[in-house]
Structure 1
């Protein structure tokens, strides 16, 4: 019991002593032993109402020398550094664990690789078409482009006809030929070949 008290070095009553010894000593026996130790001045008994608390007597311990205190301080600082190192290492391991937890599973990696391989094959086919000069415009895009061209060509023909009529009237009024009038005014007309639809050839 004395060794147990010295190892704990805290305030205890007989119930605490019995519990700390895991019931190997009953409370009654613990009380008798504590009373005997108090009589021998090995422990100090303090009364708090109806409760008695026993404390190891500090007189039986030698006070550490200044050198011993310095050694203790050095040891404490070393232990503090060791604790901080372990904390930092633990932080790094937690970060690694978090990365592993958030990473893709083997099944997800395989699915991702499969998707990328399919995309790569499509890009390879597209590249080969471009290199060989094969038409790669879809039917939908071709129809859309032709419809847009037909609309703009229709507008161009309407404006070209209006311009020709107006320029002919001005040429008659000035008694000049239409081409001569265009040259005097510095107007360049569209070439005649645009009158034909290039998509019909």
Structure 2
């Protein structure tokens, strides 16, 4: 028995639990590669120090029990370990499905956004709308102050125009915000840096008054 086989045999005796080849590799912190571990286990099985059981595509190895009812002890240990592995597999499969579903939702959201506007178009549109609404609001305020030259009909028309622009602005702003959020999901830097690199200014950055 060489040093590698002896070390693996010692580990199996100390833990007295069944393991697959990969389990042993991971538990020993990859000190031994797969070939070394497999050869050691084959040697130990041949020497009747270790028993092996095949479950599906996986082979489980454990130290052979001694004393009365040793065969039953071997089967019981392997059975319990198999139950543990099946439970872990079920949990991992559930987690994988959850992650796959979340990934589908994210992809669908990005696809929906990109079909409407590209990121660059959305950012440009937001900046343009902010400027346009600000100009319209300033013009409306100036006209409203000059009551002698503005009729009620004109004021009503301007108010309707303002409301239409505000509604459109809010719609575009929401669309742009969703687009930014989608970009940020895979963007390696912060939102602040993204805004700086794209030249986009938020309402707060330009100290824009709240639109009502």
Whether the TM-score (by the shorter chain) exceeds 0.5 is: no
| TM-score computed with the length of structure 2 as normaliser | 0.29
User: Which of structures 1 and 2 has the larger relative contact order (alpha carbons within 8 angstroms, sep 6+)?
Assistant: 2
| TM-score computed with the length of structure 1 as normaliser | 0.31
